[in-house]
Amino acid sequence: MPEYLSTAPVKGTRDFLPAEMSVRTQVFGHLYEVLERYGFLRYDGPVLEPAEIYERKSGQEIADQQLYTLTTRGGERLALRPEMTPSVARMIAGHAKSLSFPVRWYSHPNCHRYERPQRGRVREHWQINADIFGSESANCEIEMFELIHDLMGALGASPDLFAVRVNDRNLLSSALTDVAGVAPELLPQVFALVDRWEKTPVEDLAAAGAEIGLADKEFEKLSETLGAGAALLDELPAEVKAESNLVKVLSSSAASLVRYEPLIVRGLAYYTSTVFEVFDTSPKNRRALFGGGRYADLASLFTKERIPGIGFGMGDVTLIDFLDTHGLTPQPRNEVDVMVIPVAEELADPAREVAASLRKAGLRTSTPLELRKLGKELTRADKAGAAAVVIVGEEDWAAGAVTVRSLATREQRQVPLAEVAAAVNGLISPS
């Protein structure tokens, strides 16, 4: 017996059969439409990049634990992209002289991270990336939050189903040093601790705090500070708040779109001020769906020109989980609208002629690839979700007509060739 290879996809990757692909096409099609209504232009880039750009810009977790790397025959060390932001920073820097800033760009790349597969996490995923480059204005933050609400709304999500939780790393630094009394040299370790705050038992957090040098009273003060919520802003120095775009957002008409949350940090190293995460509010799926933030100079690896930006990445896994949780996942589209069936082999060419006219009219149309009995073809058309079949018979064709049959009512009638598309459309979208 031959030894067959496994039909399973590589661990952490997924196959998308036509029904699943139909759902994804609908979901992401809605998102593309919203992004382009805001003036975002779509771009793409290579899946392989120099490993160095992730090791220097994406943060230790990705660089040390999640990066897929390879060495070429020429000795060049490359990586499969784990995210898109360093790539787009390279592209922006390389074409900065020809761009009119600010620019709005979006993409839908597939990304690869070597991590433990679990609910919401796989090793290959697709994500919508949206970025604004070349402006430090708080209007960028406001537009991002408006965009997020419109993207979620386009998928059928009302504002009560999700929450946009926001913070500013500069505000958090001030809160940790000026209010909680954390020593400045401990800030990187405490940031990492805060990033795990909601996912880790308090005794484990206290133990981790002790390991980085926080005494019991200092940990208690840290807990009190982080638990203050929006009231924490009142305790921060005025000069720190004056420099924060987030404070400007919170005093604008966009304040209702977001919720200030001191616990939002974002683990990626390139975020410098505003950070945000979108959370599912359902108890069945209470988790972060996607997030992003502002970077003061992500392009600094590639150019001396300072190019600020803000953006987010919306992953497909958590997004589909969200839609499933709330009953918002669209149904797969039917395979075709109509099937054209010849009753004899010599009528195959006429059937293709009719099918071509229906496709020109915008109808998704197929014809049999092998001649079978009419009953079997009607069953096949029904399973394909067709609303109608067009039967090409010898006598009808000789008379310049075909028979149009509704698969819902089983009613049929002879229709002149010039009226076939209108007759089928009437069955698909009855007035």
Geometric angle at alpha carbon 21, from 336 and 83, rounded to 5°? 155
Provide long-range contacts, Cβ within 8 A and 24+ apart, for 133-136: 133/92, 133/99, 133/101, 133/102, 133/103, 133/105, 133/307, 133/308, 133/309, 134/99, 134/101, 134/102, 134/103, 134/307, 134/308, 134/309, 135/101, 135/102, 135/308, 136/245, 136/308
Interhelix angle 420-428/348-360, rounded to 10 degrees, is: 60
Concatenated DSSP letters of 33-69: HHHHHTT-EE----SEEEHHHHHHHT-HHIIIII--E
Which residue ranges make up the annotated binding site for L-histidine? 83-85, 113, 127, 131, 266, 270-271
In angstroms, the CA 113 to CA 247 distance is 34
> 293: closest CA among 315, 330, 259, 264?
264
Which residue ranges make up the annotated binding site? 83-85, 113, 127, 131, 266, 270-271
